[in-house]
Amino acid sequence: MSKFESHIFVCCNRRATENPRGSCDPSGCEKLRNYFKAEITRRGRKPRVRANKAGCLDQCELGPVAVIYPQKTWYGGVGEQDVPRIIQDTVIDGKILEDLLIADEKLNVRK
Ligand code: FES
């Protein structure tokens, strides 16, 4: 099997609702990841593009978070409505979605 063209890690971490950091998947049902998987399949990109469940990516305050490799693109505040354009614009066309991008200077900065 050839290497993946893109590998998307979708945070599916769930914490108790009273946790001050929040969590990307408060329901614990992996809904966002499943949207990615469905969109990859719908666009015929499987198995060259893969969306994997990830534990906490440590950018909780900016969630829901997904990171795409090899582009090394971090997106925050991702909702199901963003998934089609992430797949088309970033994964397929190689463009950055500025409205979702977590800038390098905001990564790994805990409050
Ligand atoms: S809970 Fe998603 S980045 Fe921490």
The reported pTM is 0.94
Q: Which atom of ligand 1 is nearest to the CA of 22?
A: 1
Among 62, 69, 64, residue whose Cα is nearest residue 103: 62
Domain spans, the chain: 6-106
Average pLDDT, the chain: 95
Q: Which atom of ligand 1 is nearest to the CA of 54?
A: 2
Distance of CA 13 from the midpoint of ligand 1 (Å): 6
Distance of CA 12 from the midpoint of ligand 1 (Å): 7
Name the residue of 56, 67, 102 to mutate for ligand 1: max ligand atoms within 8 A of Cβ: 56
Phi, psi of 58 (to 5 degrees): 65, 30
pLDDT tier at 109, thresholds 50, 70, 90:
confident
Cα–Cα dist 9/4, whole Å:
13
What pLDDT, in 10s, does the model give residues 33-77? 999 999 999 999 999 999 999 999 999 999 999 999 999 999 999
pLDDT tier at 111, thresholds 50, 70, 90:
low
User: Any idea of the CA torsion for 29, 82, 75, 77, to the nearest 10 degrees?
Assistant: -70
6-106 carries CATH number 3.40.30.10: yes
At residue 108, does pLDDT exceed 90? no
* pLDDT more than 70, % of the chain: 96
Token code pair at residue 85: 């354009």
